[in-house]
């Protein structure tokens, strides 16, 4: 007899309305983030944030792939070192799956067994073979990780023993049912993003990849609720407080602490503490990106950097006017370079060509409009603290 009571409660009671207040604040903070930018610029920054998200999500798993290596892999430049090359491919896998989510190409609804299996299959099918094996520490056996397939063996994660393989499907069915939209208010559904994050990790449905799958699920879940977007990442906040993240997860794994600790098998207080932590991290990351994406501040940082490059003679004069146009207008036709810079056609073409060669402006074709690019060597100046120092 399989009893899903083992991971109850699933929905926080929130008697003091702490979680409701955090969720309400998150709705308000996130609502204005996307409207700050031209849609074309938003798309470009979304590509940058996806790279950041994969960096931090993999870092939580102990896979430290340098942002420069990720940037090179995006251009098809893979390391000759097998270990570094595998980590580059892992990063690209994460980016590609999140891009599918952000473009609306993932199964719906987000909180479903189909979606969970889809994320694992899409992510793991892109990984190199060397990253698709796990070691059974008890038997010494190497076990293959099959993309999109639940584990069949018993595992232990730290002190936690997840359900057996035959129990995974019933537990996930209960998880999906508990967080069904018709059962919860909008604010409760936002809190459920945090609660389901822990409970899915508690089930640990796959031999490997559970952390990445769960963080991608939370990203997609927030998007589905109109709170998340390609412009901010929960993974950055979790990675920067990884010890607290893991401690809060472990705290929510604990059994019920007494008669005043809910009515389930697991601690209600531990689950609510994890949810509060998760929502606070989300608020912090929205506020962080809100500061970085303030248009006046972004333009000021870019202009200072551009003036320095012009003085150093690494950029032509007139570069700033083209970069500024790309920020404000999202994109512009190549033929407008002269009117934007005030230069004659030949001189303006020289400025534009250099910016395209440097990757500061990018285009989909030799005659297509140009938009802002984000080569890795300018990211720290334009978006300080996006990565932990480059």
The position carrying tokens 């397939």 is 149
Pairing between β-strand 142-144 and β-strand 361-363 as defined by DSSP bridges: unpaired
> Mean pLDDT lowest for which of 269-273, 287-291, 329-333, 385-389?
385-389
Q: Is-contact 123 212, C-beta < 8 A? A: yes
* pTM of the full structure: 0.95
What's the pLDDT score for residue 136? 78
* 296 C-beta neighbours (distance < 10 Å), count: 7
H/E segment holding residue 288 = helix 268-292
- The whole-number pLDDT of residue 318 equals 95
List the domains of the chain with CATH numbers: 15-292 (1.10.3290.10), 295-382 (1.10.10.10)
Quick check: helix, strand or coil at residue 291?
helix
Closest CA to 194 of 173, 168, 165, 225: 225
pLDDT of residue 36: 77
The secondary structure of 266-285 as a DSSP string is B-HHHHHHHHHHHHHHHHHH
> Each residue of 202-252: pLDDT tens digit?
999 999 999 999 999 999 999 999 999 999 999 999 999 999 999 999 999
Residue 390 has a pLDDT of 52
**Residue 157 backbone dihedrals phi, psi, to 5 degrees:** -115, 100
- Name, in order, each residue with C-beta under 8 angstroms of 373's C-beta and a sequence gap of 6 or more: 44, 359, 360, 361, 362
DSSP 305-355: HHHHHHHTTSS-TTHHHHHHHHHHHSEE-GGGHHHHHT--HHHHHHHHHHH
Model pLDDT, residue 208: 96
For the record, the structure tokens of 234 come out as 């929960």
Report which DSSP code applies to 157.
B
Over range 144-161, report the average pLDDT: 93
Cβ atoms < 10 Å from Cβ of 357: 9
Pair 193, 225: CB distance under 8 Å: yes
**DSSP class per residue in 31-98:** HTTGGGS-HHHHHHHHHHHHHHHHHHHHHHTT----HHHHHHHHTT---SSHHHHHHHHHHHHHHHHH
Strand pairing of 361-363 and 370-372? Answer: antiparallel
Dihedrals phi, psi of 85, to nearest 5 degrees: -65, -40
Read off the pLDDT of residues 2-53 as tens digits, 9 standing for 90 and up. Answer: 688 999 999 999 999 999 999 999 999 998 887 778 999 999 999 999 999 9
Report residue 181 as tokens.
Answer: 């939209």
Mean pLDDT of 256-273: 93
- Give the mean pLDDT of 86-99: 97
| Two tokens, residue 102 | 């952000």
Strand partners, 144: 133
pLDDT digits (tens, 9 = 90+) for 59-79: 999 999 999 999 999 999 999
Residue 158's SS3 state is coil
DSSP of 240-257, one letter per residue? HTHHHHHHHHHHHHSBP-
d(Cα 181, Cα 72) in Å, to the nearest integer? 41
- In this predicted structure, the answer to whether residue 389 has a pLDDT above a threshold of 80 is no
Model confidence pLDDT, tens digit, residues 341-388: 999 999 999 999 999 999 999 999 999 999 999 999 999 999 999 998
Helix (H) or strand (E) holding 173: helix 168-178
Per-residue pLDDT tens digits for 167-209: 999 999 999 999 999 999 999 999 999 999 999 999 999 999 9
Do 212 and 187 form a contact (C-beta atoms < 8 A)? no
Note the pLDDT tens digit of each residue in 318-344.
Answer: 999 999 999 999 999 999 999 999 999
Residue 311 is encoded by which pair of tokens? 């003085």
DSSP letter for 106, please.
S
In a 10 Å sphere around its CB, with 0-12 CB exposed, 13-18 middle and 19+ buried, how is residue 130 labelled? exposed
Q: In what order do the strands lie in the sheet with 331-332?
A: 331-332, 370-372, 361-363
pLDDT surpassing 90 at residue 137: no
């Amino acid at each position: 007899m399989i009893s899903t009571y083992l991971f109850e409660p699933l929905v926080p009671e929130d008697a003091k309305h702490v979680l409701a207040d955090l969720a309400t604040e998150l709705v308000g903070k996130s609502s204005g983030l996307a409207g700050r930018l031209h849609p074309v610029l938003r798309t470009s920054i979304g590509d940058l944030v996806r790279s950041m998200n994969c960096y931090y999500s993999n870092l939580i798993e102990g896979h430290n792939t340098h942002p420069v290596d990720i940037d090179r892999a995006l251009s098809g430049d893979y390391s000759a070192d097998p270990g570094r090359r595998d980590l580059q491919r892992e990063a690209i896998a994460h980016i590609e799956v999140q891009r599918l989510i952000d473009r609306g190409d993932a199964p719906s609804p987000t909180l479903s067994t189909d979606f969970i299996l889809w994320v694992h299959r899409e992510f793991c099918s892109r990984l190199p073979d060397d990253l698709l094996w796990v070691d059974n520490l008890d038997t010494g056996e190497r076990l293959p990780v099959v993309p999109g397939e639940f584990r069949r063996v018993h595992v232990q994660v730290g002190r936690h023993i997840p359900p057996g393989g035959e129990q995974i499907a019933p537990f996930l069915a209960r998880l999906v049912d508990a967080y069904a939209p018709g059962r919860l208010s909008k604010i409760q559904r936002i809190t459920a993003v945090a609660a389901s994050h822990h409970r899915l990790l508690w089930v640990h449905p796959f031999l490997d990849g559970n952390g990445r799958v769960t963080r991608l699920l939370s990203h997609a879940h927030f998007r589905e609720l109109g709170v998340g977007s390609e412009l901010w990442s929960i993974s950055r906040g979790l990675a920067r407080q990884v010890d607290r993240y893991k401690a809060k997860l472990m705290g929510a794994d604990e059994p019920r602490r007494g008669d005043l600790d809910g009515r389930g098998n697991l601690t209600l207080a531990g689950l609510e503490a994890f949810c509060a932590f998760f929502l606070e991290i989300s608020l912090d990351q929205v506020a962080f990106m809100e500061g970085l994406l303030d248009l006046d501040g972004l333009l000021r940082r870019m202009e200072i950097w551009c003036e320095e490059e012009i003085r150093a003679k690494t950029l032509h004069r007139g570069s700033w006017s083209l970069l500024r146009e790309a920020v404000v207008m999202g994109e512009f036709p190549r033929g407008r370079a002269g009117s934007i810079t005030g230069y004659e056609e030949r001189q303006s073409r020289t400025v534009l060509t250099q910016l395209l060669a440097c990757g500061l402006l990018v285009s989909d074709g030799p005659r297509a409009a140009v938009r802002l690019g984000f080569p890795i060597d300018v990211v720290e100046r334009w978006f300080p603290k996006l990565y932990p120092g480059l």
